[in-house]
Amino acid sequence: MKLVTHTWRTLISRPPFYVMAIFFLFMLLVPVMTNDLYLIGVLVLANVYAIFASSWDILSGYSGKENFGHTLFIGAGAYGAAYLNLYLGVPPMLNLVLCGLIGAVFGILIGIPCLPLVGPYLALATMAAASIAERLTMIFSKYTGGEEGLYGLEPITAGPVGDYYLSLILVIITTVILMAIGYSKQGLILRSIKEDETASEAAGINTTRYKLVAFAISAFFAGMGGAFYAHYQMYTGPSSLSIIMAITIIIICMIGGMGTIVGPVLAAYMLTVSNEFLRSIGDFRLLVYTGLLVVIVLFLPRGVFTVILERLPRFGQNREASKP
């Protein structure tokens, strides 16, 4: 018990945790403060992107194995949800878990051949895997609806506010679990793989196992997010598998700060919301994202929120003692 309270105190004293706690409390109150359904719709989208970005981060941000085909897992979840719901009548809530598992299976299937690959090789292999999936949906358009996609999924909740709360709860669950993993031994070992994989192997760590677990976790949450997105839109299409989507997710993570979970989550909200304000002028989403990314890479290579979080104080404990 003492250990639990101590761990809890250590965690809550750190900037990433109290910032997230305050942020989520605020987000829970949004539907109370506004009736603007358009804004709530935008925030649901931001929630979805937060799930996608943080699930990318636990694998790629932590271990440095940059996955350029994260959409494969999202698409697996989205199409999985469509098939399960349309053909087998699986209820949406159960689909969230089932499609997370489908995603995780894909994560392991893709993870195994990709494990030994590094840098650009991994980037190309994962990008190719996602593109193969995208092409397959076009070729087997009889079963996948091709360009049109699959329509008529059951809505997941009764209305926009319900969707908002459900998606926000999913973000909170995802963020808490992923942050806990990030601070656990698993996260530490993934970081050590990023620093020097050979050295971690020499230290007796079975890096393969940890990387595979990371692939599965990352893909689980991506699949779950994909399933939510499909039910929320009541539709799924090949755009959920597109390379552009995969790149957008990486850009969100790099702007927020890779390997922090908090950074990508906050960046997902920042970028999605700011993009909606720009929509009145024109569709400049990719223009803004890519332009901003170049500026960030050149001037704040570790990400916006990493820099901010480091400047915030820690509470309630001796600074010296808490240093790693």
Q: Rule CB under 8 A: which residues touch other proteins?
A: 64, 66, 113-114, 116-121, 123-125, 127-129, 131-132, 135-136, 138-139, 243-244, 247, 250-251, 254, 282, 284, 286-287, 289-291, 293-294, 297-298, 301
Q: How far is the CB of 103 from other proteins (least distance, A)?
A: 19
Q: In terms of CB distance, is 22 or 118 closer to other proteins?
A: 118
Strand, helix or coil at 112? helix
Q: How far is the CB of 107 from other proteins (least distance, A)?
A: 16
Q: In terms of CB distance, is 61 or 187 closer to other proteins?
A: 61
Q: In terms of CB distance, is 96 or 130 closer to other proteins?
A: 130
Contact 249, 70 (CB under 8 A): yes
Q: Which stretches does DSSP call E strand in the chain?
A: 150-151, 235-236
Contact 285, 275 (CB under 8 A): yes
Instruction: For residue 15, give the amino acid letter.
Output: P
Q: Which of these, 120, 106, 126, 116, lies nearest to 207 by C-alpha position? A: 116
Q: Which helix (H) or strand (E) holds 37?
A: helix 37-56
Q: Which of these, 258, 179, 176, 232, lies nearest to 48 by C-alpha position? A: 232
Contact 239, 116 (CB under 8 A): no
Q: How far is the CB of 197 from other proteins (least distance, A)?
A: 12
Count CA within 13 A, CB hemisphere, residue 89.
0
Pairing state between β 150-151 and 235-236:
antiparallel
Q: In terms of CB distance, is 138 or 199 closer to other proteins?
A: 138
To the nearest 10 degrees (0 to 180), the angle between helices 243-256 and 304-311 is 20
Q: How far is the CB of 233 from other proteins (least distance, A)?
A: 23
Q: In terms of CB distance, is 116 or 155 closer to other proteins?
A: 116
Q: How far is the CB of 72 from other proteins (least distance, A)?
A: 11
Q: In terms of CB distance, is 151 or 284 closer to other proteins?
A: 284
Q: How far is the CB of 290 from other proteins (least distance, A)?
A: 4
Q: In terms of CB distance, is 101 or 109 closer to other proteins?
A: 109
**Rounded to whole angstroms, how far apart are CA atoms 175 and 50?**
9
